[in-house]
Amino acid sequence: MQNAVVSRSEWLKARKDLLAKEKDLTRQKDALNRERLSLPWVKVEKEYVFEGSQGSTSLADLFGSKDQLLIYHFMFGPEWEQGCQSCSMAADSINANLVHLNARDIALAVVSRAPLAKIEAFRGRMGWSFPWFSAFANEFNQDFGVSFTPEQRAGKGYYNFGTGQHPSEEAPGVSAFYKNGAGDVFHTYSSYARGVEGLLGVYSLIDLAPNGRNEDALVYPMAWVRHHDRYQTA
């Protein structure tokens, strides 16, 4: 169905009305960002050892020379043949922005429960260069709320801080950490579900197009997403 067609002056009035609401939303987001930065921290006492392309590494080592670390929890289970399509869309944005993050004293790593051999094969296929580690041999993903046992999935409210469920044994998320001069690591923030939507950079562009996301008739909102090497072009 086509939207109403009006004169330029009528369109301009409607656009300015919407602009006022957009500005208000921006101010609310700025305030929320300031509140996020004031959250208390939790010291990470547990030792986590990950497997990466350079061998075994600790959580503290993932920082490299940086004080800040972001970890993207990529959905890729031990038995899966390939990584999640939606997470792969996020990974496309992550890979492109890695250099900019590093310039702001932020290290970034991707973590999945798949064995390292599967991770490396899939990363090579997709052409990504970001550091990607396997948590197959530790409980990192379970502790940070993105991998679930059958018993958890049979219950209610186990995902996104107990506010919902997830259709898979693996779920997406992003977690933030800080390392001080003494080498102590602190968990500062985690976000799940639509809280990680900001990593899906293409949606910012899709939202501007005349039809927007146009996902209402799909089986689930992101059912159209494919790995970037699997889209069919005319």
Domain presence at residue 68: yes
Do 173 and 60 lie in one domain? The reply is yes
Residues 27 and 46 in one domain: no
CB atoms within 10 A of CB 125: 12
Q: How far apart are CA 186 and CA 38, in angstroms?
A: 14
Q: Is pLDDT larger for residue 2 or for residue 12?
A: 12
How far, rounded to the nearest angstrom, does the alpha carbon of residue 230 sit from its chain's CA centroid? 21
Query: What's the pLDDT at 157?
Result: 86
Shared-domain flag, residues 55 and 162: yes
Q: What is the pLDDT of residues 62-80, one digit of tens each?
A: 999 999 999 999 999 999 9
Residues 69 and 20 in one domain: no
Is the pLDDT at 199 greater than 70? The verdict is yes
Does residue 121 have a pLDDT over 90? yes
Residues 21 and 79 in one domain: no
Q: Give the amino acid at 107.
A: A
In whole angstroms, what is the distance from residue 9 CA to residue 90 CA? 39
**67 and 95 fall within a common domain:** yes
For residues 99 and 194, membership in a common domain is answered with: yes
pTM attached to this predicted model? 0.92
* 100 shares its domain with 148: yes
Q: How far lies 67's CA from each of 63, 119, 145, 147, 181, in Å? A: 7, 26, 23, 27, 8
| Range in 151-155, 160-164, 221-225 with the lowest mean pLDDT | 151-155
Residue 25 per-residue DSSP state: H
Is the same domain home to 30 and 47? no
Note whether 2 and 106 are same-domain residues.
no
Same domain, 111 and 10: no
* pLDDT (average), residues 195-222: 92
Distance CA 61, CA 59 (A): 5
Q: Mean pLDDT over residues 7-11, rounded?
A: 96
Q: Count up the domains in the chain and report the number.
A: 2
Average confidence (pLDDT) over 218-226: 93
115 and 53, same structural domain? yes
Average pLDDT, integer, range 95-110: 96
Task: Report pLDDT digits (tens) over 47-56.
Answer: 999 999 999 9
Q: Which domain, by its residues, includes 162?
A: 42-199
pLDDT of 230: 92
- Given a cut of 50, whether residue 167 has pLDDT beyond it is yes
130 is written with which tokens? 């970001």
Quote the pLDDT of residue 234.
43
